[in-house]
Structure 1
Amino acid sequence: MQTFLAVADRASVRRAAAYLHVTEAAVSAAVAQLERQLGARLITRSGRGIALTDAGRVYADYCRTILGLMQEAQAAVRRAETGRLRIGVVATAAEYVVLAPLASFRQRYPDVELSLSIHPRDLLFAELRHHEADLVIAGRPPQGTGLIIRASRPNQLVVVGAPDADPHTATWLLRGPGSGTRDATVALLDRLQTAPPTLTLGTHGAVLAAARAGLGVTLVHRDAITDDLAAGRLVPIPMPDTPMDRPWHAVTTVTPPPAVVLFLSHLTDPDQVGAAAFTPATGVSPR
């Protein structure tokens, strides 16, 4: 399954072999054997690489969940203080919300094996559903996924631009696809029944740099612009339906591993993390 996922994720037998440090022949043989066992074609040629068949996409989804559960099971039987904690975070939270609590957590529990992945919101929640991550810090999870909100922290989305920016004529700067902030911006413009020029810059840092340079206005997390507002590089721009309340949420599956419970206890303790502390939730599952 790991070999097949390596091929699926890289759309190439050659790249999968390099990643796994084995020969291309070994990777091809492993996938071929898997196809014979399943009685289904999993991959097909596509240009210079490969693509998953419909059966391959279904099987890859199961593989991610099975392998993720196996890793989660191994972590679940270890003591929390010596366990493993895989955290997924959206870029803004990674830069402005999570690092300080992570640093103090590592000081308290140096034997916990920590890993941090930074991706768009949609990919993070997919990883959590497949048990490839143990905890995600982002906006609200999608409805009907069975994911549980364990703790939250207040946050707002505000429209900002350079001091001379005019939101009625300015270009709106957008994050890349899969970003919750991008979705909120598009929804705001729809509600305002306006279609201004837009510019997609992808990363959070690029969007803010463009706004400071006067390239346009943007909807952004207030946590990310404290210094810019204080220095006058950016200013809030009054707009209907803003600011928007968009709390940060710490989200898990129904049965989080012990190390996750330990981290949540730390994250919600003001004595340990100060103003960055989250407020415990009662285990809310979006409907």
Structure 2
Amino acid sequence: MEFTYLKTFREVAKWGSYTRAAEVLGYAQSSITMQVQKLEETYGTVLVERFGRNMKLTIAGEALLLYVNDILRLHEESKEVVSQQSRGTLSIGTIETLAAYVLPPHLQSYRQQYPGISVTIQPANEPFIIEAVKEGALDIGIIMDPPFADPELHSSILREEELVVIVAPTHRLAGHSEIQVQDFESESLILTEDGCTYRALLLKTLKSNQVNYTLSYEFGNLEAIKQCVIYGLGIALLPRVVVVEEIQKGQVAAIPFVHPDFKFYSQLVYSKKKWKSKAFLGFLEIIFGTNYQNH
């Protein structure tokens, strides 16, 4: 059996589509279909079936996927060892905030030290990232949460991320030195998309304190949120790191949100089963700025 077939099967499972898997892998769709059929012949059972426009794994397919993730992970490890760890891939899942405003300088340093390693960044929400790291589909997850712990994962804090309420300079809250929960009363909120941890905690906190507000806009894009605030369409809760430029230009006022539950940290997670290659450890050393064994 060829590893190519297993990789193809994993992509079909990931995207739920022969067409999308073909685009990602650079194959013709007929080739994707043939490879999955070869696997089904090998195992003597149906692995993928169609539901409407989507392809879904059968029970047998779900069982095989667990082994495929381990097989491909071990295969990559063996290739890296044999090739003296000079080539390979590193897959990182993270949220948009960290991908855009925190990771780039670390990625630049990593490329300089490990030019043969291809780094893949997967933007996603945190539940997806955590599950993908557990399954081995991602090597590393970088999340932003209150201190995170999971028995299957190593978790290390990178730094605290201050959350601020951003408002237009003419807004009534612009002159405040801090924002309390009650200050959200009757405000028009512009929120990040569902699945964002600080959004979820904000809504929970407002509800528990019986604060009335209007949910005006929801965006999966930070730039859209900032532009709406600049135009006076509402207020938003965001990490300070994403609005540094707008603050300097005087486009928004950023006021710290003071609440005991809102202690958020960027954190790096990886599976306790993860084999630590030289390239993997090299990334950890770069992002922590020291030898990772100290963390």
Q: The TM-score by the shorter chain falls in which range?
A: 0.7 to 0.9
Relative to the length of structure 2, the TM-score reads 0.76
Matched, 1:105 2:110: yes
Question: Which one-letter code corresponds to 1:120 in the other structure?
Answer: N
Partner of 2:280: 260
Distance 2:111 2:18 in 1: 38
Instruction: Give a deviation string over 1:207-264, Cα, whole Å, max 9, x none.
Output: 2222222222222111112222233322234655179321211222224322121122
The verdict on how the C-alpha distance between 1:22 and 1:227 changes in structure 2, with shifts beyond 3 A counting, is closer
Partner of 2:214: 197
Q: Contact between 2:133 and 2:140, CA under 8 Å: does it hold in 1?
A: yes
SS state of the match for residue 137, structure 2?
Answer: coil
Instruction: Give a deviation string over 1:53-96, Cα, whole Å, max 9, x none.
Output: 45444543543344234324433555456554333332111222
1:148 pairs, out of 138, 154, 157, with 154
Instruction: Give a deviation string over 1:181-212, Cα, whole Å, max 9, x none.
Output: 33333333234333522222112222222222
Q: Pick 1 or 2: higher relative contact order, CA cutoff 8 A, min separation 6.
A: 1
Distance 2:229 2:78 in 1: 45
2:230 pairs, out of 212, 217, 224, with 212
SS state of the match for residue 139, structure 1?
Answer: strand
1:152 Cα offset (Å): 1.6
The verdict on how the C-alpha distance between 1:234 and 1:146 changes in structure 2, with shifts beyond 3 A counting, is same
1:159 pairs, out of 159, 165, 173, with 165
Partner of 1:274: none
SS state of the match for residue 136, structure 2?
Answer: coil
Q: Contact between 1:149 and 1:281, CA under 8 Å: does it hold in 2?
A: no
Instruction: Give a deviation string over 1:80-122, Cα, whole Å, max 9, x none.
Output: 5655433333211122211112213323443443333332222
The verdict on how the C-alpha distance between 1:123 and 1:258 changes in structure 2, with shifts beyond 3 A counting, is same
The verdict on how the C-alpha distance between 1:18 and 1:249 changes in structure 2, with shifts beyond 3 A counting, is closer
Matched, 1:181 2:198: yes
Q: Contact between 2:148 and 2:155, CA under 8 Å: does it hold in 1?
A: no
Q: Contact between 1:65 and 1:129, CA under 8 Å: does it hold in 2?
A: no
The verdict on how the C-alpha distance between 1:235 and 1:94 changes in structure 2, with shifts beyond 3 A counting, is same
Structure 2 unaligned regions, length at least 5: 1-5, 174-183
1:244 pairs, out of 255, 262, 279, with 262
1:131 pairs, out of 129, 133, 136, with 136
Distance 1:154 1:240 in 2: 14
The verdict on how the C-alpha distance between 1:148 and 1:200 changes in structure 2, with shifts beyond 3 A counting, is same
The verdict on how the C-alpha distance between 1:182 and 1:107 changes in structure 2, with shifts beyond 3 A counting, is same
Matched, 1:225 2:243: yes
Percent identity between matched residues is 25
The verdict on how the C-alpha distance between 1:214 and 1:55 changes in structure 2, with shifts beyond 3 A counting, is farther
Q: Contact between 1:69 and 1:131, CA under 8 Å: does it hold in 2?
A: no
Q: Contact between 2:114 and 2:279, CA under 8 Å: does it hold in 1?
A: no
Distance 1:9 1:18 in 2: 13
SS state of the match for residue 220, structure 1?
Answer: strand
Partner of 2:181: none
Partner of 2:176: none
Question: Which one-letter code corresponds to 2:279 in the other structure?
Answer: A
Distance 1:243 1:223 in 2: 19
Partner of 2:179: none
The verdict on how the C-alpha distance between 1:177 and 1:37 changes in structure 2, with shifts beyond 3 A counting, is farther
Q: Contact between 1:88 and 1:136, CA under 8 Å: does it hold in 2?
A: yes
Q: Contact between 1:65 and 1:131, CA under 8 Å: does it hold in 2?
A: yes
Q: Contact between 1:155 and 1:222, CA under 8 Å: does it hold in 2?
A: yes
Q: Which segment drifts farther, 30-39 or 114-123?
A: 30-39
Q: Contact between 1:173 and 1:218, CA under 8 Å: does it hold in 2?
A: yes
Structure 1 unaligned regions, length at least 5: 271-278
Question: Which one-letter code corresponds to 1:219 in the other structure?
Answer: L
2:12 pairs, out of 7, 17, 20, with 7
Partner of 1:276: none
Question: Which one-letter code corresponds to 2:76 in the other structure?
Answer: Q
Q: Contact between 2:144 and 2:264, CA under 8 Å: does it hold in 1?
A: yes
Q: Contact between 1:174 and 1:182, CA under 8 Å: does it hold in 2?
A: yes
